[in-house]
Structure 1
């Protein structure tokens, strides 16, 4: 156990977050996301008993978002024709604005299949038990300036 580090951040996840460099990406995936097949070249961390919001909040406490790109926080767009509501995105926005001075301006959307292609290039994918649909988040790491 460490002081000041959210308990949900496992030793494996902390190691991965520390290993990541500027511009590396991590995906926090919902329970429907094909984490294992998308993560063939990534580190896949299983956190099935947790939802995306609690993991996102913990990660953003220690993970700087990239200030050199316009949208370092990306969500998977809802496919046209899918009758899906995404209230979890409001939750993400509330979490993100606690840690990112740009607020929701740093949040972007990536078309579903383009999101999958970008996820294949991620450094790591966290597989969660999140049941909300279109609840996937991709974060691009920035630099620590303190």
Structure 2
């Protein structure tokens, strides 16, 4: 057991998060997403799992240890609802709350059309599938950096 780590973060997920570098992308997706086939195309090449939890809970766990990139305009992306790009489902609103809480600031989710999302996901570092059964619980996060207090000098 480790102190101050979310218990959802198993060894495989912690290893992947630690191995990612600045600018690498992580996908957190719902149970309907073609996660296994997409994960095979990623840098890691195998699927990571957080079964039994919804998207918001998975995002809370991951963002408790992974900073979002502050050097890009859109470090957090969501899959658009097909035919309704401006619709924000409840699952995405819940995740937005977790993102803002983890970052301590507003980090609006940008949107990606469904097939553009699939392509972006194939180029990610890794994919984590959740037990989320609501549609559109699919997100991409770009890893940021943690600088030592005097590193900016």
SS of 2:82's equivalent in the other structure is coil
In structure 2, the partner of 1:54 is: 57
Out of 121, 124, 144, the residue aligned to residue 122 of structure 1 is 124
How many residues were matched structurally?
144
Name segments (4+ residues, structure 1) moved above 3 Å. Answer: none
SS of 2:67's equivalent in the other structure is coil
TM-score (norm 2): 0.88
Q: Residue 5 and residue 81 in structure 1: after superposition, are their counterparts in 2 closer, same or farther (change >3 A)? A: closer
Once the two structures are TM-superposed, the CA of residue 13 in structure 1 deviates from its matched residue by 0.4
SS of 2:40's equivalent in the other structure is coil
Once the two structures are TM-superposed, the CA of residue 117 in structure 1 deviates from its matched residue by 0.2
Once the two structures are TM-superposed, the CA of residue 85 in structure 1 deviates from its matched residue by 6.5
In structure 1, the partner of 2:8 is: 8
SS of 1:118's equivalent in the other structure is helix
Structure 2, unmatched stretches of 5+, are 149-153
Name the Cα RMSD after superposition.
1.7
